[in-house]
Every structure is written in structure tokens, then in C-alpha cells.
A and B are shown apart, each in its own frame.
Chain A
Amino acid sequence: MTAVPDIEFRAVTKRYGAVTAVSGIDLAIPPSAFVALLGPSGCGKTTCLRMIGGFEQPSEGQVLIRGRDMAGTPPYRRPVNMVFQQYALFPHLDVEDNISYGLRQARPRLSSREISLKAGEALAMVQLAGYGRRKIHELSGGQQQRVALARALVNKPAVLLLDEPLAALDKKLRTDMQIELQNLQREIGITFVLVTHDQEEALSMSDFVCVMNGGRVVQLGQPSEIYDEPADLFVADFVGKTNLLSGKVAAFSGDLVDVALADGTVISARKRVPLSRGEAVSVSLRPESLSLAALGGGSLKGVVRNRIFLGSTAEYAIEVPGIGSLLAKADHLIGQGNLFKPGEPVAIGFAAGAPLAFPVANNSGTNQREDQHVEILS
């Protein structure tokens, strides 16, 4: 299927003087998707969002919205709306005037009845019915967030842009808003593009995650793909918690490689890119893929240093001689007594497919993907 993507980047580069913020990005965002641009600060994700909104112009390449090249189109002529990080609500206008601001710019003009009707609907949508005449400074942070959402969505944009919208909220409110945003996106059915540095937020809310680093798209895929099949060491480390064990490629067996770890243990790992014998690699092992047992089997042996009991799960810091400290996560089964105590020796096991080996030489792993067009149209 080749639907016109809502947003398309074609070889987009953005430079600020000598600094390259975004470097040669190709990206297509399909209609009606919830997409997260995820990366550490300075990775270019906000610049990408601002280029969609029209607040920045690409130095090279094109940004297309629904197939139309947006070069030279100012923000006020683009069919997108943005929820700003600090909401940017107009302090001298009340809630309803903030929400109807975009509607009032429509030409031909909408009747004032129509405007107040739509504003009322938008308020109800974000569960703030009856708050229309409140002043902005009378609202809590969460309420301001909802007003900012309503102010953008009331215009029925082709794409809603969200710039770290939940960063200013406390944890409880943030979780509520995550669910609410997901529901809103499904109800309205327009594309949401969310910029975030919070990998948990990206994984939990979006249909697609676009991981960025150093001005490039490192990986784009569904949250489970990103987590289970990270494209490189950066993604493996940035998304979710993981243990990174350094070693050298000792042998190949089919699709798998045998990696000799620092202490001489050889483990079998999957690989994402071709590796050569003797190459230095880093093996990623997710904490939850480790299984702990009282001494016996298992390829790695260590001693429990700390136990962090979290109710449904317990996390262990385990000291493995010659390798270092590993993080393991185990489900807590009530009544099974499977909790280990600090100081207890344990054997660490893992499923055959769990370890993933990455070359360490190129630090971000983007080189071999440089000319690869990232496409998530399904």
C-alpha cells in the first residue's frame, strides 16, 4: 500500500553555522499513526519537529506534509498544530479565547456561534467543560496541558506536533495524560508526532518509535522491535535497561557468534551486522532475560550484592568475577520463596536467543545505515 505519508523528510539537513543539528534524514510517517521521536538532548529531534511546524527551514532537502513540499510555507499556512513544551498559552486571554484563537483566523470567517460551539466541544474533549471563562493562571499544570491540547486539536490539523508535552507534569499526572493522549489519538485518528527524551514514554505511547542520535535516525520501528531488536549499541543502551558485556568474537556457528567474555566464558549471541573473527564486541543482555538459580547450572556465576524489591519483581545487582556488575530482574512469585539475599552465590542463565552482539568500533552504528532509506509505510 502506498498511501501518501502525512509527513515526509527527504534528505533533510539542518545546520546552525558550523553545527549540524540534523544530517540527511529520510523519513516517512504514515497517516493516523502515533510516532515518537526519541533521543538524548541535542540529537536533533526537536529541530525535526520545528521543521515540520515551519519554525525552522531545512538547510538542504525537503519536508513534505501530505505530499506537499513545505519549502517557504510559513507556520501560519501549514496544516499542523503544535503543543509547546511550556504550553505557550496566551496569558492575557481566558481559556475559551485561547482555544478559539486558531478558529478566529479562518477565512472565510466562522460565525461566533460556530466558534464557541467548536471551542466548547474541544473543552469537553479534554474534560474541561465549564472552564471556558477561567484565566490561564488559575489553572493547574495538568489543566493548562489540556487547554494547550484542545487549542491545537480544535483546528482539526493533519498532524499534531507535541514537544515534550508531559515533561513539566508530575509522575502520576504524566501517566494519566499518556493514556489520555493515546485515547485521543485513536478517537480523532490524526497523526501525532511526539518528541521525547523519555524512552519509557516513547515505548508506552506510540505505534512507531524513531530513535535519533547525533542528528540521524538510528532506528525506526514498533516499540517491541526497538526493544527486542535494537539496531545498534546506542539503541540497546538508550532504550530500556541492559547489561553490556565486552568480549571478542571467538567463533561462528550458523547465524550465531560465540563471544569470549573477559573472564574466558564463551556465550552464544545473535548479531545485527556482520562481524569478523577477533573483533571486539559488546553483548547486550536485558535484565529480565537473565534467570537466577542457586549454584548449579548456568554459564555465569556471581554473588548477589544488592536486592531492590519492587513488589511484583525484584532487581538484583550481581557481582560476576572478571566481568563486573550485572543487573538482573526476576518476577516475584508469591509463596515460592525465590528471592535471593545479598551475599548469596547465584548462577546466571539466559535463553539462547537473548544475548545480542554489537561491534564496539563504530560507536553509534549509523555508518552502515547511512544510505539506507528508513521506511515504515505498511
Chain B
Amino acid sequence: MRTQKKIKIGTILIYVVLIMWAITTIFPFLWVFNNSFKPSSEVIRSSFSLPQEFTWMNYSNAFSKQNILMAYRNSLLISGTVTIGVMLFASMMAFGLTRYRFKGKGIVQMMISASLMFPVFSTIIPVFRMMSEWGLLNKNVAVILPQIAGNLSFATIVMIGFLASIPLEMEEAAYMEGANVFQVFAKIIVPLCKASLSTVAIFSFLWSYNDLFVQKIMIRDRTKYPISSLLEEISSKYGTDFGLMAAAVTLIVVPVLIVYIFLQKNIIKGLTAGAVKG
């Protein structure tokens, strides 16, 4: 009896701690969502209460300032392509590195892990120069290429971790039966990797969608801005308009949260499969 009671108190304590942390992660978004429906003066006066005069003004304001749908489209195009590119190249590279022995393998592996150290700002100036010389500035591809390169090392490490851990029997059997190595890769490896591929996909997508830095530098024409650049600009130019800022934050956040809630199970599965065992 005594122990049972003790456990109960312990459990309650655990829940209290967990719920407190959960509040810190939920509350800010509720706060900003709530305030995006208030005029600025009310945000400054009473940001905790529900809107007294409910208004869509901040949103119509944000939409009238710029072509937000276009910006979403640009962002999704960029992040979608980056995601696919990273998944493809990372899994191929990981396959090559785990299934072949070759001269220089150590160097390639070192290159991959060393490039984790490169913050994007350490390479951006020359990359900007290259893009301008190739005439790619203001084009989505100028963001896509460096972002693929930037996400590739993390993704490859995750994939190597997973590929190294799966048994070779299935591949062996298929290979003996006459399938060539590309068929083995496409028909056996890729389906096996689903979980860790989705981890790679989710992180590449998030990092690309959320990365303001490369967008800001490569896309200089504001009619072609992706969403983060656009909203950052709105809020830096109209920074005193709290209501508009709250709306801007909501507009960046909501699509990501929706995607996340739909895909969140894969994140956890994927990380179990890949990153940790690596």
C-alpha cells in the first residue's frame, strides 16, 4: 500500500513537470494566434484576453502588402525540390559508402562529417558570386542548390547509420538472382529505408522552409520572395504594428504545424531507425 501511494505522488510530480514544459511550448503560439486577431492598440493594452473587437484587418493588411500566396508557392517549390534532391543523393551516397570498399573512402567520409561544421554563412559569399556569374540570382534554383549541399551531410550520416544496420541477406538473394545493383537499390533498399528516408525528408523540408539566410541573399527581387523573407520584411518595415506582426508569425507557422502534425509519427520512427543507431 505504501509504495503504491508513493508512486502516485511521483507520477503526479512527473505530470506536473511535463505539463509545465508543454505549456511553454504551446502557450507562445496560442498567444500570437490570439493576438493576430486584435488591432495593435489592443495587443499592447491587453494581450492575454480574447479579442474584444475581433478583426481580420491584420491578415488583410499582410495580404495586401505583398503577394503571400505567390510566396508560399515559391517556398514550397524550393523546399519540395530540396527535399527530393537530398533524399535521392543522400541515400545513393550512403549506399555507395556502405556497400563498396574503395580507395579514398575514408576521405569521402571525412568530407561528409567535416562539412557538418560549415555554417552556411561561411560559404555564402562565394556561392553568391557563382550564382551571379551563372545568371541564377533571383531564381529558385539559386536557393535550392546550396540548400541541397548544406543538408546532404546530415542526411547521408543518418542514411549510413541505417544502411549499415540492415542485414545484407535480401540484397544478396536478389543480386544472386540476377538483379543489377540499381534494381537492388530501387526495389529493395529504398523501400527498406522508408522510415529513415522520411526523417531525412522531414528535416530537409523544415530546414529549407525555415532557412531565412540563403533566401534573403539569393532572392533579391521582392516579387520572387519566399514566405520567410517576405514576412520578415513586413515585420521589419512595420515592426511597431504588433497586430500585423502577430499575423505574420501566424502565417509562417500554421502551414508548418499542419504538415508536422500529419507527419509527426514518421519523425520519431525515422529517428529511431537512423540517427540513433548510427
**Is B a genuine binding partner of A?**
no
Q: B residues near A, CB below 8 A?
A: none
Q: A residues near B, CB below 8 A?
A: none
